Amino acid sequence: MRLSPSAVARALVPRTLRGQLTTGLVALLALACAAVGITTVLALNGFLIGRLDQQLSASDGRFAASLEHENTPDADNVPDTRGQSEGTFGARLLPGTVTRAAVVQEDSDASVPLDAADRRALASVPVDAHGHSVRLSHLGPYRLTAVRGDDHDVLVTGLPLRPVEDTVHRLEGVEAVVFGVALAATGTAGALWVRMSLRPLRLVTATAASVAELPLASGEVAMPRPVPVTAPDTEVGQVGNAVNRMLGHVGDALERRQASEERLRRFAADASHELRTPVANIRGHTELALRQQGAVPTQVLRSLDRIQSESVRMSRLVDDLLLLARIDAGHALHLGPVDLTRLVLDATDDARAAGPGHRWLLDLPARAVAVTGDEHRLHQAVGNLLANARSHTPPSTEISVRLAAGPDEVRLTVADNGPGIPAPLLPEVFGRFVRADQGRSRKDGGTGLGLAIVRAVVTAHGGKVEAASGDGGTVFTLVLPAPPRDTPHDAPR
């Protein structure tokens, strides 16, 4: 698969701030080193070539002039190499054609073979007494200058450029090594410096991450310590101060919320406790009035029946509120070994008796399943689950109850193929006073606390309860921790 240039660029750019700062620092230094290197190489190259041009001007073309008079009787056919450095090149052109070319060696001069390209290059050198760079096939790069001779010919004199190129290349190699070491050292030192500079920012990030993991929805929350700020005038210090102020506001809000919840719990507990006596009195007097013999008007009997029905309903509501208040207050459960298999059997029998029109299926393991808990509260939680499935599904609905024991947990599943729970209601189904919409029946006059009690009881036992619903029905799963392995819970049922 071929990546686009933008994707390659994103892959090469570091994602962390530390990596970006270090990369940017090294990149800027690399640009500075490249600029310095290019400038010094160009300056040295120009300086050395200028020196060659000065040498060419100082030679005054004597070597080329000696080639001009090579055929005169008094020239002895020997070029004049006095004062010429080794490698000096000379050539004579007449007219525009090279008649002779030679190069100065240690003791004498030597003729130079020229090909057609060399001859064209020599002929193209401007006659302006200025230096020009030309590459000859047998000699390599040369710096040449051309002047007019006495016989209207052109005399070309040159010096080799190879020493200049060798010096420039040597400088390039030295700069590459020095700049490479400087970049590596700067990158390492810069990474350490950036890491130290961003340490306060990492503390801010760690604090924010710890706050994000706190259970802020409910209960008492211990806020983390404020971020230490050593340099408040810097950007990192300003971020730290802002985070500390935010933590303070969040802590204050959580404390006020916790205090409000505590007051509400105390009110619910006190109100429930105080309401139990008058409700019981109303219920008792109503039952006593209904037992009286004699003629009682029908309207009075109906009113007394309604009073008794509502007092029973209010009694259940008060008991449920008081139970939730006690669990919220952290009152200890009466823990002990509980035969969960027998408990599920009894609860299912009770539910079958209350809902004979439903189809009840029971799936239990071959051996008894035991847990450690409060038997009365667990029976209440299982009964609420079964009552919820019975109350909110039409007759002939199939309700299956399955109990399974694993090495670490015990799972109780209550599933029905009824109409299901509306999707907007599903996330809040375990909330208090949460009622279903018109898709669920309310003929039983439920208070909306049954599933809330299930979650409170299971959570107090260290377990959890989950709900899933769709077109195929609803599934409630109750999970409890398994008892220790040395607890005898695998006897045959």
Mean pLDDT of 155-161: 86
55-81: pLDDT as tens digits: 887 776 667 667 665 544 444 555 666
Q: What is the pTM of this model?
A: 0.48
pLDDT of residue 439: 40
Is the same domain home to 187 and 43? yes
- Residue 100 is assigned to a structural domain of this protein: yes
- Residue 315 is assigned to a structural domain of this protein: yes
Q: How confident is the model at residue 492 (pLDDT cuts 50, 70, 90)?
A: very low
Token digits for 82? Answer: 């006095």
14-53: pLDDT as tens digits: 667 777 888 888 888 889 999 999 999 999 988 998 888 8
pLDDT of residue 491: 43
162: region left, alpha or beta (phi > 0 left; psi from -120 to 50 alpha): alpha
Boundary-marking domain end, from 146, 171, 197: 197
Does 189 score more than 50 pLDDT?
Answer: yes
Boundaries of domain holding 285:
215-331
> Can you tell me the distance from the alpha carbon of 158 to that of 145, in angstroms, rounded to the nearest whole number?
6
- Residue 432 is assigned to a structural domain of this protein: yes
- Domain holding 351: CATH number? 3.30.565.10
Which among 79, 120, 75, 135 is positioned nearest to 103, based on CA atoms?
79
pLDDT of residue 360: 92
Mean pLDDT of 400-424: 89
Does 487 score more than 80 pLDDT?
Answer: no
Is the same domain home to 383 and 251? no
Mean pLDDT of 358-385: 90
194-233: pLDDT as tens digits: 888 777 777 777 777 777 777 766 666 777 777 777 777 7
pLDDT of residue 359: 92
Is the same domain home to 276 and 403? no
Boundary-marking domain end, from 269, 298, 331: 331
79-121: pLDDT as tens digits: 666 567 778 888 888 777 887 788 887 766 677 788 888 888 8
**HEC profile of the chain:** CCCCHHHHHHHHCCCCHHHHHHHHHHHHHHHHHHHHHHHHHHHHHHHHHHHHHHHHHHHCCHHHHHHHCCCCHHHCCCCCCCCCCCCCEEEEECCCCEEEEEEECCCCEEECCCCHHHHHHHHCCCCCCCCEEEEECCCEEEEEEEEECCCCCEEEEEEECHHHHHHHHHHHHHHHHHHHHHHHHHHHHHHHHHHHHCHHHHHHHHHHHHHHCCCCCCCCCCCCCCCCCCCCCCHHHHHHHHHHHHHHHHHHHHHHHHHHHHHHHHHHHHHHHHHHHHHHHHHHHHHHHHHCCCCCCHHHHHHHHHHHHHHHHHHHHHHHHHHHHHHHCCCCCCCEEEEHHHHHHHHHHHHHHHCCCCEEEEECCCECCEEEECHHHHHHHHHHHHHHHHHCCCCCCEEEEEEEECCCEEEEEEEECCCCCCCCCHHHCCCCCCCCCCCCCCCCCCCCCHHHHHHHHHHHCCCEEEEEEECCEEEEEEEEECCCCCCCCCCEC
pLDDT of residue 178: 92
pLDDT of residue 456: 87
Is the same domain home to 72 and 104? yes
- Residue 6 is assigned to a structural domain of this protein: no
Does 342 score more than 90 pLDDT?
Answer: yes
- Residue 208 is assigned to a structural domain of this protein: no
Boundary-marking domain end, from 265, 300, 331: 331
- Residue 382 is assigned to a structural domain of this protein: yes
Is the same domain home to 343 and 455? yes
Domain count, the chain: 4
> Can you tell me the distance from the alpha carbon of 374 to that of 331, in angstroms, rounded to the nearest whole number?
12
Is the same domain home to 291 and 190? no
Is the same domain home to 319 and 272? yes
Does 347 score more than 60 pLDDT?
Answer: yes
- Residue 490 is assigned to a structural domain of this protein: no
- Domain holding 119: CATH number? 3.30.450
Does 402 score more than 90 pLDDT?
Answer: yes
Is the same domain home to 240 and 389? no
- Residue 69 is assigned to a structural domain of this protein: yes
Is the same domain home to 55 and 92? no
pLDDT of residue 77: 52
Is the same domain home to 380 and 313? no
- Domain holding 235: CATH number? 1.10.287.130
Is the same domain home to 465 and 442? yes
Q: Name residue 83's amino acid.
A: G
Is the same domain home to 379 and 315? no
3-14: pLDDT as tens digits: 565 555 555 566
